[in-house]
Structure 1
Amino acid sequence: MQNLNATPSLPVAIDVPIMDQEAFSKKIGISQDTVRGMVETEKLPSIKIGKRRFVNIAELTNRCLNEGTNR
């Protein structure tokens, strides 16, 4: 008989659109140093995974979409 009170163990994948700083700089056509500076000053949202910091594309998109509604 199956235990209906047991919490199922399912693998969960959370997809957060992120991009490494090098790819982001190439994609938008600015230097890696500029991207790094924007991440460090929090002008670009980022997420740290291990020792690396990635541009958080989901948060950047959210900021861009909401900027027009805050004016």
Structure 2
Amino acid sequence: MDAMAVTSLVAGIGACAVCVLHVWLRVRAAVRLAQLSESGISSWINALPPGSYLSERRADRSYVTIHIGGAAPRPGGVDE
């Protein structure tokens, strides 16, 4: 192989490696942020007394309400 082909091949492999590394780092950061978010919610829940409600707005603008110390919801139904 001539030098130009080898240089192009090495540059292409390097570019692919950088791209894969970038994607891996972004996914790893997203997972870590999710873990931190979960641990933050857990510490809030542990600090609340029974009977409290915790409401949170998700990224898709929906709300999640957690009732602390309440009865377990029925499977397949809405807790009344």
Say whether the fold is shared (TM-score over 0.5): no
For Structure 1 versus Structure 2, the TM-score category normalised by the shorter chain is 0.3 to 0.5
Decide which structure has greater strand share: 1
Structure number with greater Rg is 2
Scaled by the length of structure 1, the TM-score of the pair is: 0.33
Answer 1 or 2: which has greater helix percent. Answer: 2
TM-score calculated relative to the size of structure 2: 0.31
